């Protein structure tokens, strides 16, 4: 096992509950499955793996501590359900600033978009967003449906077919974004505008 990955698998235990930690490991495994099916480069796999382990590092932080971190780092946030996404990058830089690879722009981009999506998503961004929804402990009906469909689509991709890989990832993000928007709308809950923009952008990508 890679030294950095092994280090993170142990170190994030300090910041996550047992349940959250188990989820992080399953997101990591799910990301590695996608990385194999979509023929990611070694560098992309490494970025995706690190991002998967770090994505929920502030999820168990208290709301007061999270807000304080936002004030300290000048981070704007919209709602409490997405607060952990907005605090992840500044927390990672604060805690792991002495390990440049963990604070790399590609890593921070992925963790900062894993819940709502965001503008200009890379393939790694899209796969972390997808894996967080489709990892096997997610038993909600929409998660099961999304996992079965997306996995079946990934199985069809030929090795090193980058264009199909990117379109499949965009289709996965669009599906999950639509499911999220429909669910929140039905519940009368706030819909983060980033999710709506992500859906629109992913639909446009599929047309190209």
Q: What pLDDT score does 58 carry?
A: 93
**Mean pLDDT, residues 87-93 taken together:** 92
Q: What pLDDT score does 82 carry?
A: 83
Q: What is the pLDDT of residue 207?
A: 72
* Confidence (pLDDT) at 161: 97
Between the alpha carbon of residue 78 and those of residues 70, 85, 113, the distances in Å are 11, 10, 13
Q: Quick check: 4 and 50 in contact, CB under 8 A? A: yes
Residue 15 CB neighbour total at 10 angstroms: 18
The whole-model pTM stands at 0.94
Q: Assess whether pLDDT exceeds 70 at residue 43.
A: yes
Question: Cβ-count burial of 44 within 10 angstroms (0-12 exposed, 13-18 middle, 19+ buried)?
Answer: middle
Is the pLDDT at 78 greater than 80? The verdict is no
Q: In this predicted structure, what is the pLDDT of residue 76?
A: 74
Supply the pLDDT for residue 81: 76
pLDDT of 63 over the 90 cut? no
**Mind listing the domains of the chain with CATH numbers?**
3-207 (1.10.3210.10)
Compute the average pLDDT of residues 191-198.
93
Q: Is 139's pLDDT higher than 80?
A: yes
Q: Residue 62: which pLDDT band, with cuts at 50, 70 and 90?
A: confident
User: In this predicted structure, which of 47-56, 73-82, 179-188 has the lowest mean pLDDT?
Assistant: 73-82
Supply the pLDDT for residue 208: 67
pLDDT of residue 10: 96
66: helix, coil or strand? helix
């Amino acid at each position: 096992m890679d030294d950095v990955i092994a280090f993170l698998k142990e170190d994030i235990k300090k910041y996550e509950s047992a349940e959250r930690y188990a989820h992080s490991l399953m997101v990591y495994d799910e990301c590695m499955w996608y990385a194999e099916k979509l023929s990611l480069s070694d560098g992309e796999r490494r970025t995706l793996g690190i991002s998967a382990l770090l994505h929920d590092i502030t999820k168990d932080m208290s709301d007061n501590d999270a807000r304080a971190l936002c004030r300290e780092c000048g981070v704007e946030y919209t709602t409490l359900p997405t607060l952990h996404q907005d605090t992840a990058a500044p927390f990672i830089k604060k805690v792991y600033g002495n390990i440049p690879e963990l604070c790399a722009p590609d890593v921070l981009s992925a963790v900062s978009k894993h819940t709502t999506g965001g503008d200009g998503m890379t393939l790694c961004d899209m796969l972390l967003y997808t894996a967080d929804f489709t990892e096997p402990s997610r038993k909600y009906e929409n998660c099961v449906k999304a996992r079965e469909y997306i996995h079946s689509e990934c199985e069809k991709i030929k090795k090193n077919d980058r264009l199909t890989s990117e379109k499949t990832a965009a289709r996965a993000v669009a599906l999950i974004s639509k499911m999220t928007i429909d669910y929140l709308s039905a519940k009368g809950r706030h819909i983060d505008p980033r999710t709506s923009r992500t859906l629109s952008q992913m639909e446009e990508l599929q047309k190209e």
